[in-house]
Structure 1
Amino acid sequence: MRGPGLGPLAHLVWGGRWAPCGAMEELLSRAVPRRPVYELREKSPAPVEAQCAEFVRFYGGLREPAQRAALLDRLAGAFGVDHGEVAAHSANLLLLRQQQQQQQREPGALLQAEDRLRYALVPRYRGLFHHISKLDGGLPFLVNLRADLLESQALKMVEGPQVRAIVKEFSAPETEDSNKIVAAIFYSISLTQQGLQGVELGTFLIKRVVKELQTEFPHLTTFSSLSPIPGFTKWLLGTLSSQTKELGRNELFTDSESQEISGVTGGPVAETLKVLLTSNEWVKSEKLVKVLQAPLMRLCAWYLFGEKHRGFALNPVANFHLQNGAVMWRINWMADTSFKGITASCGLMVNYRYFLEETAANSAAYLGTKHIKASEQVLNLVSQFQKNSKL
């Protein structure tokens, strides 16, 4: 809805009336805080709360997707990063690096130049969003705004419900005393709001669900996930292939394990398993399931505990729970015998247990020193891997 021949910013809805884009420009100038010079970055006053609230009302009054997209485009273009400043800081950083390599500069000058560049790369509108998040209703507003931005980029509108943790809730039978329910197992944590895709809210969701469950079941003391292990089979097959190619043999299994596996499959371990593990047919053999249990349990423990990406757990689900302060608690054999469970993780699943009084310390240790808190069962399996398997 706009006048003939006018662009989406020519007139915007404001308080139920049509307002010219000049009003929008004035609003942005007032609401988006000026970025202070580097030396005063810690002392800049916060914008007046009313100015942030005015932006929220203004944006909320825009009914047309094109108007919202145009406003966000203007916000990014006029109140984003000063590219000239970024270029100047980048050039200075390169110069200082060359001088340091020639031992003409102290390291401190280079570190300060890096910090100045990082500061210049922070868009000005970030300050507005930061202060909006502190308003009542500010976080839902930002979630919806982000959804608008994602939808605009995709050139389509997707309607979705509000963010929530999806929890499979099973009411206790009427004959069962709810006071006897002491454990809660979380199968999955999902985000249904478009604007929250890619935003890390795991800790918030988990604590929210725990609080609600404790209200209903006050005797709950044990909180744990039952999590899939995506990528384990792929990692295992890749490791088998690389060892066979480089060494002409595999060193993941002991000699006795290799003999047992070959006795069941009738062929070389590496080549046979590379075929079998790509389907779910192998679980139909009770003998094969039995002989593979011990080696796959320890290999899975190593995959979760020992395989890293930049120092953190390679497995994305493990990384998620460890960041939230969970303990890698128990690896479960044949816990998911669905086609997906068998082909993705050889039927294995893992519990990440949350000790509520320890989550903050565990999270800090993992994020700070990359230390993984694990149970005795997991550590024993890792020890078995280190003793019996080689990568």
Structure 2
Amino acid sequence: MSFNSWMNSIVDAGRDLLLRSAKDNKNGKDIAELCRDLCSNKGEAMGTALACAVVNAYNDMSDEEKFSFFTLLIDDYSADSRDILRCAESYRGDSSEQNLNALKQAIASPRLQLFRRINMSATGTPTLVQMRSYLQRLLKDNPSLRPIDDDLKYLLKSWFNRGFLKIRSIDWKTPAHILEKLIAYEAVHEMNGWDDLRRRLADDRRCFAFFHPALEDEPLIFVEVALVKGLATAVQPLLAPKVDDQHNVEADTAIFYSISNCQPGLKGISFGNFLIKQVVMELQQELPTLKQFSTLSPIPGFRRWLDKALAEDQPTLISADDKQSLKVLSQDGWQQDNETNETLKPLLLRLCAHYLNNEKRGAAPLDPVARFHLGNGAQIGQLNWLGDTSANGLKQSAAMLVNYRYELSKVEENHEAYVNDNKIACAKKVLELIEG
């Protein structure tokens, strides 16, 4: 038999197995049996067919059936604690490579093998990403399912590492089905249709996204950039339609004003740090005149922290007079009153600077956006009063925004100080706000 004939026979056998497996599933072969078959020592062609059958069975499940499937994954595919203890005892008595490997194997749950084999299907990776996305909704009320999430996250971190990611520049010529997803996935400043998107892809704007081969045209994360003169301090002018007679100025600053994660199933797997650094390199190459790289970022936890601080009564931080002044935040339109702003501005700037620099979750900053950018090596550069007067901006941060500055000569130094010593890079003028 020739090599080509042999290869064709394997392909035909695999196709027959796939069709037979799908037929078996329709005839009542449930996903539990399919998973057992998939984890058995079967050949590659049969394994691929079974993986496809498991994927199809999962995608056809109701919510109730998915919950039962997750329960099955806990009951039948968790690591055996007795094996772990036995192997640990053996390794403690004899720390040989053989005993170490046995311990590693005992600790690894059979779920990992099952998920790896499901990934043999052509649509295995997106199915596992969707599976984790669905699982995220159940964890709060069903913490016993968390080991499944841990296993999926462990594998997806490996499968979605930087080496597999491809960066693409998004513009108005990008296929419409991808552009539609940008509108749907925008998480910071909502887009109201195609006109908003067109403005964000104009000639003084840039947009970049990461993609993964297994998810085809599904963006994982995208960043929107405004090319401006000087440091942008408010987002509404950046989002406003471009005026026809607006003078074109040579931009010297790139403002990262929106970063949106697109796949809930990849929660906790960081792409943004790689994306920002890659975009900086792309922009430097395209536009050598750019001298500053900065974000214009929301402060999503500030009002929540402030409300808690007020309820807990911290007189050394917020005096009785301060509390009286802050009551106006519950009134609509407070940001439009100049007299109110004169009182609130220094008070809220002081409290927000304190929040970003001093309030912690463990050793890390309490604010999630601050954790992200400071961990990347950025500096808290400037607070911007009335930087975002949208309803969401008022609700999250009393209309304030912050510039996290990426000073390229200091990024690595800032990152090392943050990671090793929990030190926050903060501009002198922001620290002075805390002192009042």
Task: Normalising by structure 1, report the TM-score.
Answer: 0.61
Partner AA of 1:239 in structure 2: A
Q: In 2, are the aligned partners of 1:278 and 1:343 still within 8 Å (CA)?
A: no
**1:8 matched to 2:31:** yes
Q: CA deviation at 1:289?
A: 0.5
**1:26 matched to 2:41:** yes
Partner AA of 1:5 in structure 2: G
Q: List gaps (5 residues or longer) in structure 1.
A: 13-20, 31-50, 92-115, 245-249, 259-267, 386-391
Q: In 1, are the aligned partners of 2:295 and 2:405 still within 8 Å (CA)?
A: yes
Q: Partner of 2:218 in structure 1?
A: 162
**1:148 matched to 2:131:** yes
Q: Partner of 1:372 in structure 2?
A: 424
Q: Partner of 2:192 in structure 1?
A: none
Q: 1:205 aligns with which of 261, 270, 275?
A: 275
Q: In 1, are the aligned partners of 2:325 and 2:344 still within 8 Å (CA)?
A: no
Q: Partner of 1:229 in structure 2?
A: 299
Q: In 2, are the aligned partners of 1:143 and 1:196 still within 8 Å (CA)?
A: no
Output one character per residue of 1:86-119: Cα deviation in whole Å (capped at 9) or x when no partner: 567999xxxxxxxxxxxxxxxxxxxxxxxx9999
Structure 1 pair 184–120 and aligned structure 2 pair: CA distance change class (3 A): farther
**1:64 matched to 2:62:** no
Alignment of 1:29-178 (within 5 A): 59=51, 64-66=56-58, 80-86=78-84, 121-123=107-109, 142=125, 144-151=127-134, 162-168=218-224
Q: Partner of 1:313 in structure 2?
A: 365
SS of alignment partner, residue 234 of structure 1: helix
Q: In 2, are the aligned partners of 1:329 and 1:351 still within 8 Å (CA)?
A: yes
Q: In 2, are the aligned partners of 1:9 and 1:67 still within 8 Å (CA)?
A: no
Partner AA of 1:369 in structure 2: D
- Separation in structure 2 between the aligned mates of residue 374 and residue 240 of structure 1, nearest angstrom: 25
Q: Partner of 1:323 in structure 2?
A: 375
Q: In 1, are the aligned partners of 2:294 and 2:403 still within 8 Å (CA)?
A: yes
Structure 1 pair 291–72 and aligned structure 2 pair: CA distance change class (3 A): closer
- Separation in structure 2 between the aligned mates of residue 199 and residue 379 of structure 1, nearest angstrom: 32
Q: CA deviation at 1:227?
A: 0.8
- Separation in structure 1 between the aligned mates of residue 251 and residue 49 of structure 2, nearest angstrom: 46
- Separation in structure 2 between the aligned mates of residue 54 and residue 354 of structure 1, nearest angstrom: 51
**1:273 matched to 2:343:** no
Q: CA deviation at 1:287?
A: 1.6
Output one character per residue of 1:339-391: Cα deviation in whole Å (capped at 9) or x when no partner: 32223212211011123454344223212221111112222223x15xxxxxx
Output one character per residue of 1:179-213: Cα deviation in whole Å (capped at 9) or x when no partner: 93332111221111243133222212222333443
Partner AA of 1:167 in structure 2: V
Partner AA of 1:316 in structure 2: P
Q: Partner of 1:39 in structure 2?
A: none
Higher relative contact order (CA 8 A, sep 6+): 1
Q: In 2, are the aligned partners of 1:228 and 1:317 still within 8 Å (CA)?
A: yes
- Separation in structure 1 between the aligned mates of residue 327 and residue 396 of structure 2, nearest angstrom: 14
- Separation in structure 2 between the aligned mates of residue 167 and residue 142 of structure 1, nearest angstrom: 24
Q: 1:188 aligns with which of 258, 261, 276?
A: 258
SS of alignment partner, residue 331 of structure 1: strand
Q: In 1, are the aligned partners of 2:382 and 2:427 still within 8 Å (CA)?
A: yes
What is the percent sequence identity of the aligned residues? 31
Q: In 2, are the aligned partners of 1:179 and 1:217 still within 8 Å (CA)?
A: no
Structure 1 pair 184–10 and aligned structure 2 pair: CA distance change class (3 A): same
Structure 1 pair 79–54 and aligned structure 2 pair: CA distance change class (3 A): farther
Q: In 1, are the aligned partners of 2:374 and 2:424 still within 8 Å (CA)?
A: yes
Q: In 2, are the aligned partners of 1:230 and 1:345 still within 8 Å (CA)?
A: yes
Q: Partner of 1:247 in structure 2?
A: none
Q: In 1, are the aligned partners of 2:225 and 2:254 still within 8 Å (CA)?
A: no
- Separation in structure 2 between the aligned mates of residue 327 and residue 380 of structure 1, nearest angstrom: 15
Q: CA deviation at 1:313?
A: 0.4
Q: In 1, are the aligned partners of 2:219 and 2:262 still within 8 Å (CA)?
A: yes
Structure 1 pair 56–227 and aligned structure 2 pair: CA distance change class (3 A): farther
Q: In 2, are the aligned partners of 1:224 and 1:351 still within 8 Å (CA)?
A: yes
Output one character per residue of 1:42-85: Cα deviation in whole Å (capped at 9) or x when no partner: xxxxxxxxx8x997897467651428999999887766523224
Q: In 2, are the aligned partners of 1:143 and 1:195 still within 8 Å (CA)?
A: no
Q: In 2, are the aligned partners of 1:333 and 1:349 still within 8 Å (CA)?
A: yes
Q: In 1, are the aligned partners of 2:225 and 2:255 still within 8 Å (CA)?
A: no
Larger Rg: 1
Q: CA deviation at 1:228?
A: 0.9
Alignment of 1:223-372 (within 5 A): 223-243=293-313, 250-252=315-317, 269-372=321-424
Q: In 1, are the aligned partners of 2:226 and 2:256 still within 8 Å (CA)?
A: no
Aligned CA-pair RMSD: 4.8
Task: Normalising by structure 2, report the TM-score.
Answer: 0.55
Partner AA of 2:28 in structure 1: G
